[in-house]
Structure 1
Amino acid sequence: MNLSKKLLATATTSALLTLSAGLAFGQEQDTEVLENDKSNGLRLEEVVVSATYRDTSLMDTAGAISALTEDFMRNQGAEDMADLFQLVPGLNMATEAGGNNRFVVRGISSQTGESQLSITASAIGVYLDNVPVSSAVGPAVQMSSTIFDVQRVEVLKGPQGTLFGEGSQGGTIRYLFNKADPTAFDASLTVGGQMIDESDDYGHRIDGMVNFPITENFAIRAMGFDTSRPGWIDNVSPEEEDFNDSESRGGRLSFNWQASDRFALEGSYYDTKQTVNGASRSDFGTPYVQTSGRTPGRPPKSTDDFELYNLVANVDLGFATLTASTAYSEREMLFFHEYNGFLTTLIDFVWFLNEQDAGWPGNNPFIDPNLNSITNRNRLISEQQVHELRLVSNDEGSLRWTAGVFYKDSDDLYDFDLEVSGLPGKEFVEPIAVDILTPEDPDALNGLDNMKQWAVYGEVSYDFNPQWTLTVGGRYADLQQELGNQPELGAEDNPFTPKVELSWRPNDDLLLYATYAEGFRQGNTNRLFGATAEQDLINDIANKQAQEGISEEERAADLADLNGRLDVTRSERAFDGDTLKNYELGLKTTLFDGRAELRTAAYYIEWTDLIQSFRIPA
């Protein structure tokens, strides 16, 4: 029994000290657009953000925030975040296929966890409006919404553990859609095409929106989009030109009912479907070319279908605004990953060299190849319910506060299948190859996770005088995980994440702040340390105790080794989450009579109990 693979939280501390700065001058690429002010000439337009759950000016809000406005994104001709992340200081993004997105903020990300064997949560939170849609089944499958009819994208840098909680360890990305407007009819249509070097095909983009006022206080807004991108990689075997094309389509339907001065109700339905064909990578040393065999009936492709229902009620209580939000989402991802020809031949050769250990009956693949193709099929299905009650004080005096209760129930189904095809006459290697590549424990690759989370949070800001403001906040969460096929297993955690921030505004053009904040990421379960692995070791111990023909010294040594493995299996079923602490000094200032803005921050990050993947000796 091989117990060499595991994933757990280690007592490791990582630290990062860095300095970041952004200068807005003229048409600053980070956030701003210019407006023509006849009295003062060209000035930067004020950008309003809601990162604190109240509308504030970007330059008046302590904290490192980048806000991409609708006009800015339209002028860039951007379709999604992949077209924009390079314009946001401190943000990086790796994208491989539809739905395969990994966000990095200030160097913080999860570099492991996309395999069913070692699932870890994301370190970056993703929100559609105020609904978290961060992936619970791996950091590399984050949502990347269309940005058409999006009023603003906010990138909050540093831990957001107080107001946004789980998954916002390194930062949070928020897509804020335009609301239905009862005051006026509106409509827009965008039609475009695209060409890509090394491609013989053409892509298109069609976006449409219409806003219908039904009454003076009720409106409906509908948005739809259809996008295709041509492929630019040619497959050699079988021969396929530009076979990595993709398409994305979907829409959003919303309503806004301003029932009275004190009550408003908003609802929305969002749906998107993405399909990416072919491979996303070229062969080694050969750009724009992929060589691979093909498992019959398993062409490489990925699909990502996502639906979100959200209902939000806002009630003005006088002293505060109560927001009640309930959301339900479904997401189904299906990936067929085809190994390229070089990797398939390399695996064939390694097994040939290790014939005794691997049980590989094939010949030397450089003389007589055995394998035609290897294809992984991964399926991930997530259903989430998210409910939140939030109170935000209405008094704009010296004391302001926010308090909330959060609940999330997530069911995540994952399963894995591997198919191998041998070359003609070598079909006998197929079941052997599948057996070698597949772990012994079936529960490691197929199962159902249930994660429940309760959280309470609060934040208070107090102005000592017009220049000095102190903000103190915290969030306490209770996270419980159960595995549907192994209910006795599962991770649990009770993190508390505080925040303290002191800001100083000596004049209208200068803001300085100092922040200490923490963020957390939930733990998970080591899939290879399941019930099957434990039972196999128990059986091995019983067999060793009954074995005849060996000395007692040898029996004792073998039993000590097996019992040691059993102890590890039982103790490392689950691993804890990790914590990130951020110490930050920031400055925001307006220069040249409002014609330029400077935002800069120096921060020191301490990442403790960092989740890492490593091997325990077999």
Structure 2
Amino acid sequence: MNAIPPLLLAAGLALAAPVQAQLTGDAVAFSIERKRLPEALAQWSRVTGLQVISQAEVVRTLTANPVMGTHTPMEALRLLLANMPLTFSTIGENTVVIEPMERNASAPKTTLPLQRLAAAQTPAPSVRLEPARVEQPIQEEVIVTAQKRSERLQDVPVPVAAITATALVETNRVRLQDYYERLPGVNFTLGTRGEPSVAIRGITTGAATPTVGLTVDDVPYGTSTNLGGGYTVPDLDPSDLERIEVLRGPQGTLYGASSMGGLIKYVTKDPSTDALSGRLQMGAESIENGDGLGGSVRGSVNVPVTDELAIRASGFMQYRPGYVDNVQTGEQGVNERKSYGGRLAALWRPSQDLSIKFSGLMQDINTLGSQLVFVRPGLTDLQQSTLRGTGSYHTKNQAYGLTVATRFGDVDFTSVTGYTVNDVLAKTDYSSAFGALVAPFGVTGSPLIDDYTAGKFTQEIRLSAPIGDHFEWLLGGFYTDERTRWHQSILAADQSTGNVVGAPSLSNWLVTYSEYALFGDLTIKFSERFDVQIGGRATQNRQTFEQVTLSSPSNTTTVIPRKVSEDEPFTYLLTPRFRISPDLMVYARVASGYRAGGINASGAVVPTYKPDKTNNYELGVKGSAFQNTLTYDVSLYHILWEDLQLNLLNAQRLVYVGNASEAKSQGVELSIEAAPFEGFTVNAAATYNDAELSKSFPSTSTLWGASGDRLPYSSRFSGSLTAQQRFALTDNMMGFVGASLSHIGDRLSVFQGSSGGSPLPRQEFPAYTKYDLRAGVELDDSWTANLFVNNVTDKRGVVQGGIGFRFPFAFQYIEPRSIGLTLAKSF
């Protein structure tokens, strides 16, 4: 046999170790972290006792994927090399040869030397590694980017829920309010204008300024302040989403402002150069008491342009019939919803060490009327009585992102540039609140029109690298520039017709917000089992506000000159992690978050207010058992919330925002995924959360809150259970049936004021349980038909309303029972 050429490297030859396994043999426990490919191959070889032969020039610049848990040697190698331009073949039962793919013409060929090595043996056919075809024995590993690096979900020392988009699309759960019950610790409500708002682990006082951050492909979404627009949930149609990651607990170090309660990450699908592919789906849906039939069309296509460039395009249109009737105007189904949008993405990967991705997203969502339901004499189920032309909520959202990832030696460099535009037009019936303002015009109706545009530019740069085998660091910088132009009109309208006859107040204001931040973390690996992550973020932000108001019929102009607010918050994290085994990990986490301060628009004791902060103390356990057929995630947490942003009262009894009081949130969360037998999967989640004030509100507050009072909208117990069975119908047809239930415990609405030294009552929202069913067939892995029934018992679960709302007799419910069918074709 001829000598092996110098270009061939025997990576991890197992030295003189005896062979311990065969490629197709029994499963072995692996704990291979993200590291240089030669080092990872050597570790794979040591664990299996098998030999790996590869070219030094091919593997020395690549980084291996992490492999954790129990796998056969072949499965582990496929995971290790996933997404790389490599193939591998076998020589006998104990040797693997790794080579570049044939399309990489610049790579040296190794056919002749390997044939000489093989001698009389015939190598097995090469296996081309395509990520979508990596096979897992039981359940597919879920990879998340919660810590701004790709990691196996079970290895991330952060409580994360990852929900895939496929099931959401097939059952028409396309809005966050349709599926939030499946996410541990997440509470959902709607604001006075119909805008969605989310809280995690009970961290909310019901204010509009967000306590949960939102990102789309790591680009922050929505404004950072209340005056700038507050919370804007993109409600992305999930047809082009890879997954949704929900991070629970403060995430201020890596994600900055507005993540004091947690973070929701929308991760879109990347273009792929592997093959031309696509999907087309059509659906129809009927809603209880709905005015007609709803429908949807969704499509996506992936086009490889070259071996280095791919483009992905997607689009959707959807119509949801209204189910609330307005008895004052005689209109049926006033809350109908029309939406459409699309996304275009291009990925260019000229080399293994450089990728550039650009994406553009647009969506238009128009809810034509309010979903408020009035509970009062003379009205029946799903009815309201509001001013004609009010209740609509129209949003136009755009998001653009440019991500550049490359490598300089051992250092990974990532640049994420984003620009988002949110246009909102909301028309709300405030006749009961503004009666005195509209009286001079001889009418009683008063619609409030909010029309604003918020533009946000962000830039983030990250550097990361290992230092030997014991250290790994990440360093980043972040900048954002936000600008909101808001037009608010208080109009006078005829109550019977909705015709506008005057404008008592017209206001225009401009809000700007800028932020500079430096952040980083360092992971110290004391051993392969034990490591500690420490990190911090130093931030400087600046906010301005100015307003002009024209009042009629007095024709007076009020000018509020520019006000400025500046803050310099600091956040931190400390996370020790210990791997008891490759399938069991325990961790502790100390982390903080903050919400930006702001400016008071009217006269106040203080012109500005400070950020409020959360400090989180947590213990967690993640693991798997029974050859990965059971995975579990348990976390026990205690959160301290300082300097709550509250409505306070000055000497002239004008409301302003100030900092006062303290609160705490503590509880336990449990998530389980299991596949106990072939074709059957079950997912369960449960949360016990005790979120309450730990210090009473000051006497100057317009709200009453005593130590021990529960925080708004937080249920003490919530949980969900989903099960599905897949089975073969014929050789090329599979069937499936599934069911799910979600339970939301009782809650209280926002804090109220007091009367005679005693607190006014808060609205109670009773607990409810919702059931969903689905069934369908798959033909030739390309056609899918899915029949679903959501909210089977037609439950009226209360989301918002009642005491403290603009109509104390109005409530917002979860969507009534809906029955639908979707048909999809993939190619």
Q: TM-score, normalised by structure 1?
A: 0.76
Equivalent residue in structure 1 for 2:532, among 470, 495, 498: 470
Question: Is the CA contact 1:53–1:392 (under 8 Å) kept in the aligned structure 2?
Answer: no
Q: Distance in 2 between matches of 1:91 and 1:424?
A: 41
Pairing 1:412–2:484 present: yes
Q: Post-superposition shift, 1:614?
A: 2.6
Residues 1:66 and 1:236: Cα distance change in structure 2 (over 3 Å): same
Q: Percent identity?
A: 26
* 2:383 counterpart (266, 269, 289): 289
Match of 1:111 among 182, 201, 206: 206
Deviations 1:496-519 (A, max 9, x none): 101111111111221111111010
Shift of 1:361: 7.8
Q: Is the 8 A contact 1:522 1:576 kept in 2?
A: yes
Q: Is 1:528–2:602 an aligned residue pair?
A: yes
Superposition map of 1:28-39 within 5 A: none
Matched, 1:100 2:134: no
- Counterpart selection for 1:455 from 509, 517, 534: 517
What CA distance in whole angstroms lies between the structure 1 residues aligned with 2:449 and 2:327?
22
Question: Aligned pair 1:376/2:457, yes or no?
Answer: no
CA deviation vs aligned residue, 1:306-345 (integer Å, no higher than 9, x gap): 1122111111112121111222221110001124xxx64x
Aligned CA distance change for structure 1 residues 422 and 248 (closer, same or farther; 3 Å)? closer
Among 502, 523, 540, the alignment partner of 2:576 is 502
Question: Within 5 A, what are the aligned runs for 1:41-190?
Answer: 43-74=138-169, 76-95=171-190, 100-109=195-204, 111-113=206-208, 121-136=209-224, 137-190=228-281
Report Cα offsets for 1:398-444 as digits up to 9, x if no partner. 3111110101000011121011224699x9x976xx75xx6xxx7xx
Conserved in 2, the CA contact under 8 Å of 1:459 and 1:472? yes
Q: Distance in 1 between matches of 2:136 and 2:350?
A: 41
Cα deviation for residue 55 of structure 1 reads 1.1
Cα distance, 1:380–1:261 mapped onto 2, change above 3 Å: same
Describe the SS at the equivalent of 2:181: helix
CA distance in 1 between partners of 2:358 and 2:438 (Å): 59
Structure 1 Cα separation of the partners of residues 414 and 593 of structure 2? 24
**In the alignment, is the contact (CA less than 8 A) between 2:174 and 2:235 conserved in 1?**
no
Unaligned runs of 5+ residues in structure 2 are 1-70, 76-134, 548-559, 653-827
Q: CA deviation at 1:53?
A: 1.5
| Alpha-carbon separation, structure 2, partners of 1:71 and 1:238 | 40
1:388 CA displacement: 1.1
Report the equivalent of 2:404. 313
Q: Which runs of 5+ in 1 are unaligned?
A: 1-35, 114-120, 352-357, 363-369, 530-568
Deviation at 1:141, TM superposition (A): 3.1
CA distance 1:127–1:413, shift in 2 (3 Å) = same
Question: C-alpha distance in 1, partners of 2:536/2:409?
Answer: 25
CA distance in 1, matches of 2:245, 2:312: 22
Alpha-carbon distance in 1 for matches of 2:544, 2:290: 47
| Corresponding letter in the other structure for 1:229 | R
Aligned to 2:457: 385
Matched, 1:615 2:689: no
CA change 1:218–1:202 in 2 (3 A) is same
Contact between 2:338 and 2:367, CA under 8 Å: does it hold in 1?
yes
Counterpart residue number, 2:669? none
Q: Which of 602, 611, 614 lines up with 1:577 in the alignment? A: 611
Q: Quote the Cα distance in structure 2 between the aligned partners of 1:451 and 1:264.
A: 31
Shift of 1:463: 1.2
Are the structure 2 counterparts of residues 279 and 446 from structure 1 closer, same or farther at C-alpha, using a change threshold of 3 Å? same
C-alpha distance in structure 2 between counterparts of 1:41 and 1:123, whole Å: 38
Find runs of 4+ consecutive structure 1 residues off by over 6 angstroms. Answer: 39-42, 96-99, 358-362
Contact 1:320–1:395 (CA under 8 A) maintained in structure 2 = no
Letter in 1 for 2:222: S
The TM-score, its normalising length taken from structure 2, stands at 0.58
Which amino acid in structure 1 is aligned with residue 629 of structure 2? R
Instruction: Pick which of 330-339 and 248-257 moved more.
Output: 330-339
**Number of residue pairs the alignment of both structures matches:** 504
CA deviation after TM superposition for structure 1 residue 149, in Å: 1.6
CA deviations 1:352-404 (Å, max 9, x no partner) are xxxxxx99689xxxxxxx74522110112101111111112256833111110
CA RMSD of aligned residues (A): 2.9
1:513 to 587, 592, 598: 587
- The letter of the residue matching 2:631 is E
Q: CA deviation at 1:593?
A: 3.5
| Distance across 2 between alignment mates of 1:256 and 1:446 | 41
CA shift for structure 1 position 109: 2.9
Alpha carbons of structure 1 residues 591 and 236: separation in structure 2 relative to 1, 3 Å: same
**In structure 2, how many angstroms separate the alpha carbons of the residues matched to 1:300 and 1:266?**
39
**Paired residue type of 2:510:** L
**Separation in structure 2 between the aligned mates of residue 145 and residue 135 of structure 1, nearest angstrom:** 17
Q: Distance in 2 between matches of 1:159 and 1:222?
A: 34
Match of 2:102 in 1: none
Distance 2:434 2:479 in 1: 46
CA gap of 1:41–1:179, structure 2 versus 1, over 3 A, is closer
SS of 1:376's equivalent in the other structure is strand
Q: Within 2, Cα distance between the matches of 1:178 and 1:397?
A: 33
1:398 is matched with: 470
> Aligned-pair distance for 1:299?
4.8
CA contact (8 A) 1:99 1:274 kept: no
Larger Rg: 2
SS in 1 for 2:232: coil
Letter in 2 for 1:491: S
Please identify, of 41-50 and 281-290, the stretch whose mean Cα deviation from structure 2 is larger: 41-50
After TM superposition, give the deviation of residue 248 of structure 1 in Å: 1.1
Inter-partner Cα distance in structure 1 for 2:645 and 2:417: 32
Q: What secondary structure, in the 3-state scheme, does the structure 2 residue paired with 1:162 have?
A: helix
Structure 2 SS opposite 1:490? strand
Q: Is 74-83 or 329-338 further displaced after alignment?
A: 74-83
CA distance in 2, matches of 1:375, 1:382: 22
User: 2:348 matched to 1:253?
Assistant: no
8 A contact 2:575–2:587 mirrored in 1: yes
Q: Which residue does 1:489 correspond to in 2?
A: 563
Letter in 1 for 2:459: H
| Cα separation, 2, equivalents of 1:504 and 1:41 | 25
Q: Report Cα offsets for 1:89-145 as digits up to 9, x if no partner.
A: 1112224699811011111135123xxxxxxx3111000111000333344433222
